[in-house]
Amino acid sequence: MRGVFTNSAGILVSRVAGFIRDFTTASILGAGVYSDIFIVAFKLPNLFRSVFAEGAFTQAFLPSFAAARYKGAFSVRVFFGLFCVVLFISALASFFSEALTQAIAWGFDERTVKIAAPYVAVNFWYLDIVFLFSFLTALLHYRKSFVAPAFSTALLNVSMIFALLLAPIERKDVVLWYLTFGVLIGGVLQLLLHIVALKGKRLIPMLIGGVRKKREIKADTNRFRRAFMPAVFGSSAVHISAFIDTVLASFFAAGSISYLFYANRIFQLPLAIFAIAFSMALFPAIAKAVKRRDEEGSLKLLTKCFWLLLFLLSLSALGGALLSEGIIWLLFERKEFARIDTIRCAEILTLYMIGLIPFGLSRLFSLWFYSHHAQALAAKISAISLGCNAIFSLLLIAPLGVKGLALSGSLGGAVLLALNIRHFGWQRVLGMIRLKLVVALLVALAFEALAIEGFKLAVGYQGFFE
């Protein structure tokens, strides 16, 4: 559990810094066209950061690394092969930045695409840095070192905050350039922290040995290649769902992308602190237990984390939904972010919170598939849930507008959880159920709801934000 608390603490620090970054950005850019442009420009590299750095690369790499006979040679081969691919993709993004911008935000007009394209091109190079420190993260996790990976995102947010403080706020286009280079500088700081963390872990000599010694590792690299793309796709359902929301929101009025982004950032906080932190810390232990063929031990680990995660996510979801307007008001309503922006963003946050429990628990169950080298199954489940999400979006976007996108994402999360449980095994899930814990959870939720409603009455909640 030490790894869980380290990850949770690091993610909490990073997310707090992220909220400071977000409300500083909101106060300077508001919820308008320039805010939408930066969110679009940062969307793809941030998507890759979320997917790679929060476990996808580790989930594919770590089981293959643990099974590899020549770990140094295997690591070096994987590193150089993927890094060349990432560099090529970044170069293509720079040359075809307008086409890429149009692909991310279909609803942008030609003028807005031309303004956004240069920011998209430069931000995309953050992807290369993401790959570098994600590779080092996987190695550090194998050595049960979680501090640098957990706290590194804070450096990105701190760099962007300093960029905002230094930027001339009267020129919003220049503010976007400051933010863009703040992203790249923050990425370099993240990478340096990971390199420092390698000292004392006996990993650098292993990598140097992997360069010097040529080994026959074809079977190991083939195993990794088969697992990599399914792992990336399988662990990214929530992030791809948010990306789809951004694409569709670009057809709505200016500010819609920003409402979704800020609401999703708050939704991501408990998801990251609890679900992602648990899965990152638990995965190496489960992978090693599976390698030892200790099925009973891995199930016990999963059951303990299931109940702790269910309690934390349930309390967070209920609290977030009941206090959505107050949370948005506290974090974002100032200067360019107006009262009407708070109301619209809070409505979206409430709908996002419906999906917190299914998305969080799905991440836990998917560990079982990754540890059993069933990445293809996880990818298939994600594909089905994303397909359902797209159908829900098309059905709900007309009657509910941008709010329909948030609700469709939550419904897609419910499908994702149902499919994960089905393939994990209903009998196994029933074996994890404890009646006394169910009762305790219901009592805790009832107490929380009463406490929040009492607080609202005491402070005059409805008029508190006027």
Residue range 157-201, pLDDT digits in tens: 899 999 999 988 888 888 899 999 999 999 999 999 988 888 766
From CA 421, how far away is CA 385, in angstroms rounded? 13
pLDDT value of residue 449: 93
| Amino acid symbol at 304 | K
For residue 463, is it within any domain? no
For residues 254 and 32, the answer to whether their CB atoms sit within 8 Å is: yes
Residue 427 forms part of a structural domain: yes
pLDDT of residue 446: 95
pTM greater than 0.95: no
Does residue 122 sit within a domain? yes
217-258 pLDDT per residue, tens:
777 777 777 777 776 666 666 667 767 776 777 777 667 778
Residue 53 lies in a domain: yes
Q: pLDDT value at position 102?
A: 84
Q: Check residues 166 and 34 and name the one with the higher pLDDT.
A: 166
Cβ-based burial of 101 (10 A; exposed 0-12, middle 13-18, buried ≥19): buried
271 token code pair: 């998801």
Mean pLDDT of 348-356: 94
- Other residues' Cβ atoms within 10 Å of the Cβ of residue 160: 26
Q: How many CB atoms lie within 10 A of CB 110?
A: 9
Cβ atoms within 10 Å, residue 395: 13
* Rg, C-alpha atoms of the chain: 22
Does residue 177 lie in a domain region?
yes
**Whole-number pLDDT of residue 272:** 79
Which carries the bigger pLDDT value, residue 152 or residue 8?
152
Q: Is the pLDDT of residue 352 over 90?
A: yes
The band of 451, judged by pLDDT with boundaries at 50, 70 and 90, is very high
pLDDT in tens, 287-321: 667 667 767 777 888 888 889 889 999 999 999 99
Question: Which of these, 168, 165, 161, 210, lies nearest to 183 by C-alpha position?
Answer: 161
Please say whether the beta carbons of 197 and 138 come within 8 A. Answer: no
d(C-alpha 374, C-alpha 420), whole Å: 12
- In this structure, is residue 465 part of a structural domain? no
* In the predicted structure, residue 209 carries a pLDDT above the cut 70: no
- What is the DSSP track for 336-381? TS-HHHHHHHHHHHHHHHTTHHHHHHHHHHHHHHHHTT-HHHHHHH
DSSP string, 375-403: HHHHHHHHHHHHHHHHHHHHHHHHHHTHH
d(CA 347, CA 462) in angstroms, rounded, equals 14
Q: Which structure tokens are listed for 310?
A: 């269910």
Q: Which helix (DSSP H) or strand (DSSP E) does residue 137 occupy?
A: helix 126-142
| Three-class DSSP category at 443 | helix
* Residue 333 near residue 31 (C-beta atoms within 8 A): no
pLDDT value at residue 5: 66
**What is the domain extent for residue 381?**
2-457
Q: What is the pLDDT of residue 259?
A: 85
Please give the Cα distance from 257 to 275 (Å, whole number).
Answer: 25
The structural domain count of the chain equals 1
Could you give the CA distance from residue 387 to residue 391 in angstroms, rounded to a whole number?
6
Rounded to an integer, what distance in angstroms lies between the CA atom of residue 253 and that of residue 373? 44
Residue 462 located in a structural domain: no
Q: Which of 53, 39, 288 is nearest to 191 (CA)?
A: 53
Going by C-alpha positions, the residue among 267, 410, 259, 268 that lies closest to residue 338 is: 259
Q: Is residue 466, in this structure, part of any structural domain at all?
A: no
- Own/partner long-range contacts of 430-434 (Cβ < 8 Å, ≥24 apart): 432/302, 432/303, 432/306, 432/307, 434/307
